[in-house]
A and B are shown apart, each in its own frame.
Chain A
Amino acid sequence: MTDVATLWSYLSTTPLIWLTTTIIGYLIADGVARRLGNPPWANPVLLSVLLIAPVLWLTRTNYATYFEGAQFIHFLLGPATVALALPLWDNRDTIRTSIAPIVLALLAGSIVAAGSAILLARAFGLPVDILLSLAPKSTTAPVALGISEAIGGIPALTAVLVIMTGIIGAVTVTPLMNLLRITDWRARGFAVGVAAHGIGTARAFQVNPVAGAYAGIAMALNALLTSLIVPLLVRWLI
């Protein structure tokens, strides 16, 4: 029988172990969240991260090694974004009648997302490079990183801020909308899609399919709009 060290040196060189760990971590997190009735604070992304990060720490595994396994999951974000076409198609009739609310809510949500981040960071007295890294935080990661780099931010910081924004939006959207007694699933979904990109959209799908469809539209449109307005807002507000 091989000893534990030999076995570990084999396992740590294959993507298998971290791919499996990610799936098991998520299944546990999602199972717990479902059993609790999917309360907003039991966000499956957050719970999974809290389960997996200590395992990496205990095994002294660095992120690059973890990602060799986890990249297969990460890769699926692309086709999953394309898959949002189906809920969009399913809701085409209501979308066609709400073009005006969609366009104006997109403009308002997107401008406030970037503008308030810049102004709040100034109020907190944060340095300019951090402020620039914050500005594109509400849009999907690949776009946000591109913008951050183009305007002189720190892409690595933006990457962290984008994911944190997604989780914050996913956790706060349900209590916020319930507090305001908003019952229109289109408006609820759209708001979280603009403010909290894909992670917010994932939450919307967890709650209601119409909310999910509208969150998907908002996320896709905001990917386009943010890259146009952030450079302008930065020029005006800094």
Chain B
Amino acid sequence: MLQTLGLLLGCQLLGEVTVRGFGLPVPGPVLGLTLLVLLLAAMPRLAEQLRPTTTVILANLSFLFVPAGVGVIGNLGVLSDDGVALLAILTLSTVLSMLAAVGTFIGVRRATERWAA
């Protein structure tokens, strides 16, 4: 567990340092993710060592958003009089975005499968 945590934090740290050093528009952890994929490609055996701790973390991903979620309740004042309109916009826009993504994914997948066949 400690080794995995150390590796995850190490990748994040390298990601953060690189992002800040070069002024990249990506969050450090996302670059850290990329780095870990490269490490896994170089050392596939690493996957099984990482698995137990990683599985626990990802199974409880919702938990990690609770502090930020609680912050929303305390900060609902920023929505002022536009709360209802913003809720409607967020719901519509999120559904539209999912429709666009899922429609494109399935459409392109079918087209490329037909092309490959």
B64 CB-CB contact with A under 8 Å: yes
- What's the Cα separation between A124 and B85 when bound, in Å? 7
Whether B102 and A105, one on each chain, are in contact in the complex, defined by CB atoms closer than 8 angstroms, is yes
The answer to whether A80 and B66 touch (CB under 8 A), given A62-B74, A194-B101, is no
A46 CB-CB contact with B under 8 Å: yes
B57 CB-CB contact with A under 8 Å: yes
Interface of B is mostly: helix
Residue numbers of A with Cβ under 8 A of B are: 22-23, 25-26, 30, 43-46, 48-49, 52-53, 56, 62-63, 66-67, 70-71, 73-74, 76-90, 98, 100-102, 104-113, 116-117, 120-121, 124, 126, 130, 134, 137-138, 140-143, 146, 154, 156-157, 159-161, 163-169, 172-173, 176-177, 180, 182, 184, 186-188, 190-192, 194-196, 198-199, 201-203, 205-206, 212, 218, 220, 223-224, 227-228
- 12 new A-B contacts, CB < 8 A, other than A49-B72, A101-B104, A206-B62, are A78-B9, A82-B29, A108-B100, A108-B101, A120-B89, A159-B72, A160-B79, A163-B68, A168-B90, A199-B65, A201-B61, A224-B30
B109 CB-CB contact with A under 8 Å: yes
In whole Å, how far is B38's beta carbon from the nearest beta carbon of chain A?
9
In whole Å, how far is A48's beta carbon from the nearest beta carbon of chain B?
5
- What's the Cα separation between A81 and B58 when bound, in Å? 9
**Count of chain B residues with a beta carbon within 8 Å of a chain A beta carbon:** 74
| Complex interface: chain B residues within 8 A of A140 (CB) | 27, 30
**Chain A proximity mask over B80-117: 1 for CB below 8 Å, otherwise 0:** 00100111111111111111111111101100100000
In whole Å, how far is B64's beta carbon from the nearest beta carbon of chain A?
5
Those 4 A-B pairs whose CB atoms lie nearest each other, nearest first: A109-B101, A85-B36, A70-B67, A81-B29
| Complex interface: chain B residues within 8 A of A168 (CB) | 90-91, 94
